[in-house]
Structure 1
Amino acid sequence: MTKRKPTVLNSDVQSASATLCIQADADILDFCGHFNHFPLLPGVTQIDWALYYAVEHLNVPSAFKGMEVIKFQEPILPDAIITLTLNWNEETQKLAFKYTSIAGEDIVVHSSGKMKLGSSSE
């Protein structure tokens, strides 16, 4: 098992925002050992994916400079279909992200936060 990224089912990319529908495939390496009898997607993986897809789709700076206002509310389980919403603020150099899913008629917020980005020379 060496897979690290989810399956992207579809995406909608604008100049400063992106919405990706992804599947957190059960065979992703990060599910192993986090927890043995109840695997869930680690928070650090969620942050990594948000940064990865922001760099890929929004051309944001790739150097992580810190986190703000991070909340992990509901676990992301293996094979979950989730929506990752990314919003880049060029002026403040902050990336806002949110992971959500649909349960019946309800929107479930799994996690959200903001990260400060910059160039690696800063």
Structure 2
Amino acid sequence: MFIIFGHFPNAPILAGVVQVHWALHYLNEYFNMQVSDYKAIDALKFQVIIAPNSQVNLCLKKINDHKFSFSYRSENGSHSSGRVVYQ
């Protein structure tokens, strides 16, 4: 669970690049997948913005040895999702 604070002064949302960065960070922490070894981000979708003070859950799933999925969800539904492909 993450507690989110505003990022952009005129549009306080959690940037998509931050969401991807966090997914890569936690794939390294929990699955020992190195950020420098990722090859591509597939099927990246942003459905619902993550506003300041939102609490979201990050779900990471191993698809195979070189592919993982991630998704951010909250009581408001699915916020974003994608797949990370490693070399």
Task: Find 1:110's aligned residue among 69, 76, 79.
Answer: 79
Which contiguous aligned blocks of 4+ residues in structure 1 show a shift greater than 4 angstroms? none
Unpaired runs of at least 5, structure 2: none
Task: Find 1:84's aligned residue among 39, 58, 64.
Answer: 58
Q: Which structure's relative contact order is higher, taking Cα pairs within 8 Å and 6+ residues apart?
A: 2
Which has the larger helix fraction? Answer: 2
Per-residue CA distance 1:37-86 (angstroms, 9 max, x = gap): 33101111000000101101121233221111110011111121000000
Change (3 A) 1:61 1:88: farther
Unpaired runs of at least 5, structure 1: 1-20
For the 8 Å contact 1:73–1:110, the answer to whether it is kept is yes
Q: What aligned pairs does 1:29-40 form with structure 2 within 5 A after superposition?
A: 31=7, 34=8, 36-40=9-13
Aligned to 2:31: 58
Distance 1:54 1:67 in 2: 13
Q: RMSD across aligned C-alpha pairs, in angstroms?
A: 1.6
TM-fit CA distance, 1:90: 3.5
- Structure 1-normalised TM-score? 0.64
Identity percentage of aligned residues:
31
- Name which one, 1 or 2, has greater alpha-carbon Rg: 1
Aligned length in residues: 86
Aligned-partner residue type, residue 46 of structure 1 = Q
